[in-house]
């Protein structure tokens, strides 16, 4: 009972708006409150799913957000500081952080409009433009309200989020040059390090990975595949149990503690590694105005042949460790040769 009441206090009662501007201000405040960092975003998505289990995307978003946090703290762990210059690691962190923040800033108002629509027993989606939500998603939420097609809504939200981050993050001049155009990202992409893992309390890691991360179509397909895995009846309760029992810290220790053969990454907790990063949008563009929606993005995918990734992922982690060790050796040799070449006085 206590857990349930705490969950309901997560989104306070706001009277049906008599003054629209004041109501919009309250919603914006809730978004700001929960969009502080990867921890607050992850838990907000999860709590929303507990309130509204019919909105399956919110659980998918929470589990993908956990992975974003683990990727962030990897940059402060044992391996990446030996592989990457601090400036490169900062750029990688900001890529994860900016994408994480942007998706939440757009998606959480949508979830709140749905939540308060259910409370008022009438649609509130006509206010979407007040929160810079795309016309595509306004139409999809109205459609969901009438048809209750939860799978279509998940696919629509995946399509929306991936288009949302394409221009300001993936195609951003700085990130494009320092991150997506770097040799490290090429190696990571082609060795399948671009993966999303769903842990269980039994020490399993299930999930999927993606090639060609910069392409919208590939990321949409990955999102649809992850949705299929996350809500597969044989596994869903295991993923949910993990989420309920293990509070997100940002460290891979969250799941490594349950894995017997996992190489320890020694990643710190997110709040130990990073401080609060302020964000804002300079411009708001509705991506859906000039973009055609491909029907293939709504196709139901088959469950991938191999979704148990534990040993595969640990093997890739060890490969990354070897690369870091080799780079360390060459760095020492380079320093030693540099010292030998110095003229003696």
The reply to whether 342 falls in a domain is: no
Digit-by-digit pLDDT tens for the chain (345 residues) are 444 456 667 999 999 887 899 999 999 999 999 999 999 999 999 999 999 999 999 999 999 999 999 999 999 999 889 888 898 889 889 999 999 999 999 999 999 999 999 999 999 999 999 999 999 999 999 999 999 999 999 999 999 999 999 988 886 666 566 666 665 655 555 444 578 999 999 999 999 988 877 889 999 999 999 999 999 999 999 999 999 999 999 999 999 999 987 888 889 999 999 999 999 887 888 999 989 999 999 998 888 889 999 998 898 888 888 888 887 655 655 555 666 565 554
The reply to whether 334 falls in a domain is: no
The reply to whether 343 falls in a domain is: no
CA distance 12 to 116: 10
In this predicted structure, what is the pLDDT of residue 296?
A: 95
In this predicted structure, what is the pLDDT of residue 4?
A: 46
What phi and psi, each to the nearest 5 degrees, are found at residue 158?
A: -65, -45
Classify 15 as helix, strand or coil: coil
In this predicted structure, what is the pLDDT of residue 165?
A: 93
The reply to whether 333 falls in a domain is: no
CA distance 208 to 197: 7
In this predicted structure, what is the pLDDT of residue 190?
A: 44
In this predicted structure, what is the pLDDT of residue 189?
A: 54
In this predicted structure, what is the pLDDT of residue 6?
A: 61
CA distance 68 to 196: 9
CA distance 285 to 133: 9
| Owning domain of residue 184 | 2-279+292-328
The reply to whether 90 falls in a domain is: yes
pTM of the model: 0.91
The reply to whether 196 falls in a domain is: yes
Classify 274 as helix, strand or coil: coil
Q: How many residues does the chain have?
A: 345
CA distance 186 to 192: 10
The reply to whether 338 falls in a domain is: no
Long-range contacts of 183-189 (CB under 8 A, 24+ apart): 184/83, 184/84, 184/88, 185/213, 189/213
The reply to whether 16 falls in a domain is: yes
Tell me how many domains the chain contains.
Answer: 1
């Amino acid at each position: 009972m206590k857990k349930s009441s705490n969950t309901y206090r997560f989104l306070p009662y706001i009277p049906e708006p008599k003054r629209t501007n004041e109501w919009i201000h309250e919603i914006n405040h809730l978004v700001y409150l929960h969009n502080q960092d990867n921890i607050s975003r992850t838990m907000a998505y999860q709590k929303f799913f507990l309130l509204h289990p019919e909105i399956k995307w919110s659980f998918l978003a929470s589990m993908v957000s956990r992975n974003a946090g683990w990727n962030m703290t990897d940059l402060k762990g044992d391996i990446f500081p030996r592989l990457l210059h601090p400036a490169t690691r900062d750029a990688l962190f900001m890529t994860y952080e900016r994408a994480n923040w942007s998706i939440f800033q757009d998606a959480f108002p949508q979830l709140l409009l749905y939540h308060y629509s259910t409370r008022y027993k009438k649609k509130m989606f006509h206010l979407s433009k007040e929160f810079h939500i795309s016309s595509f998603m306004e139409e999809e939420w109205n459609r969901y309200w009438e048809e209750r097609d939860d799978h279509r809504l998940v696919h629509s939200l995946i399509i929306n989020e991936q288009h949302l981050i394409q221009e300001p993050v993936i195609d951003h001049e700085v990130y494009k040059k320092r991150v997506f155009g770097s040799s490290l990202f090429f190696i990571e992409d082609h060795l399948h390090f671009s993966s999303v893992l769903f842990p269980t309390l039994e020490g399993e890691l299930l999930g999927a990975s993606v090639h060609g991360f910069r392409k919208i179509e590939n990321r949409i397909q990955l999102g649809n595949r992850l949705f299929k895995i996350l809500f597969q009846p044989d596994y869903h309760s295991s993923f949910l149990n993990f989420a309920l029992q293990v509070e997100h810290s940002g460290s891979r220790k969250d799941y490594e503690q349950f894995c017997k053969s996992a190489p320890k990454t020694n990643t710190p907790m997110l709040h130990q590694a990073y401080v609060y990063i302020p964000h804002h949008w300079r411009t708001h563009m509705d991506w859906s105005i000039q973009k055609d929606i491909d029907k293939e993005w709504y196709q139901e995918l088959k469950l991938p042949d191999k979704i148990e990734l534990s040993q595969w992922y640990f093997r890739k982690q060890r490969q990354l460790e070897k690369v870091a060790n080799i780079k360390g050796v060459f760095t020492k040799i380079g320093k030693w040769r540099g010292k030998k070449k110095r003229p003696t006085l």
